[in-house]
Amino acid sequence: MENFLELISKRRTIRQFRAQTIPENILVKLVDLGRLAPSAANLQPLEFLVVSDPETRKEVFPCLRWAAYINPAGDPKPGQEPTAYIIILVNTEIREKGYEYDVGAAAENIILGALTQGIASCWLISVNRDRLREILSIPEKYRIDSVIALGYPAENPVVEDFSGSVKYWKDEAGVLHVPKRKLEDVIHFNRFGQKQRK
């Protein structure tokens, strides 16, 4: 298995996918990884809706907004749409607020678990929830939190050092560049503002 630290370092959001089906047993395993994530007070309000049927995927796709900074260049091109989705639902009868930490932990488990299988992802929160609820017959007591789009990658974004803007961009060759703040700009030791001893 790939070194876990390397796995985290190479994780990038992907918005162009190959038209290759993800086996259902892998999707089930990814949901299981989400289920096993930490949960505040161990209340476990999350449930997961897997969409892998091609016709249903076509209905879900227009409910999602992809890459605001480079719209529409960041949208999946025809034939490069995700081949599965995992929709994260919150059972509001179990927890009405404070579930966001649970969602973050579960989503990261799913995203990193997918990457170990060569599967890329895009975690989406800009979602037409009303339409999605209607299409997928989701009961009112469930809040649609977010959608994880999944598929085998058809692009290779690269990380750039932050230089004043967080906006990602595509170059002339279509490669996505993603700025990240430098480690030394976000880490403090013992007191705020203190840096690591050399």
Q: Which residues pair with 13 in a beta bridge?
A: 121
Number of domains in the chain: 2
**Same domain, residue pair 71 and 148:** yes
Q: Over the stretch 152-172, which tens digit does the pLDDT of each residue have?
A: 999 988 888 888 888 887 888
Mean pLDDT in residue range 106-134 = 97
Give the length of the chain.
198
Q: Which range marks the domain in which residue 176 is found?
A: 157-198
In tens, the pLDDT along 14-43 reads 999 999 999 999 999 999 999 999 999 999
Residues 145 and 161 in one domain: no
CA distance 196 to 184: 9
3-state secondary structure of 8: helix
Preceding amide of 72 cis, omega within 30: yes
Residue 1 above 80 pLDDT? no
pLDDT of residue 127: 97
How far, CA to CA in Å, does 5 sit from each of 51, 102, 122, 148? Answer: 30, 22, 20, 22
Tell me: pLDDT of 46 over 80.
yes
Residue 141, helix vs strand vs coil: coil
* The pLDDT value given to residue 149: 98
CATH number reported for the structural domain that contains residue 118 in this entry = 3.40.109.10
Q: Percent of the chain, pLDDT > 70? A: 99
Instruction: Say how far apart CA 103 and CA 118 lie, in whole Å.
Output: 22
Residues 13 and 73 in one domain: yes
Q: What is the pLDDT of residue 179?
A: 87
104 and 14 share a domain?
yes
Instruction: Kindly list the distances between the CA atom of residue 104 and the CA atoms of 74, 110, 140, in Å, as whole numbers in the listed order.
Output: 23, 10, 22
- 3-state secondary structure at position 150: strand
- CA angle at 4 for the pair 10 and 108, rounded to the nearest 5°: 70
Q: Do 166 and 107 have their domain in common?
A: no
Same domain, 148 and 171: no
3-class DSSP state for residue 116? helix
Q: In this structure, are 192 and 162 located in the same domain?
A: yes
Residues 41 and 107 in one domain: yes
Are 8 and 100 in a shared domain?
yes
Digit-coded pLDDT (tens) for 52-104: 999 999 999 999 999 878 878 789 999 999 999 999 999 999 999 999 999 99
Pair (74, 96) in one structural domain: yes
- Same-domain status, 138 and 196: no
- Indicate if 108 and 50 belong to the same structural domain: yes
pLDDT above 60 (res 6): yes
Residue 2 is predicted with a pLDDT of 52
Residues 180-190 have pLDDT tens digits of 988 888 899 98
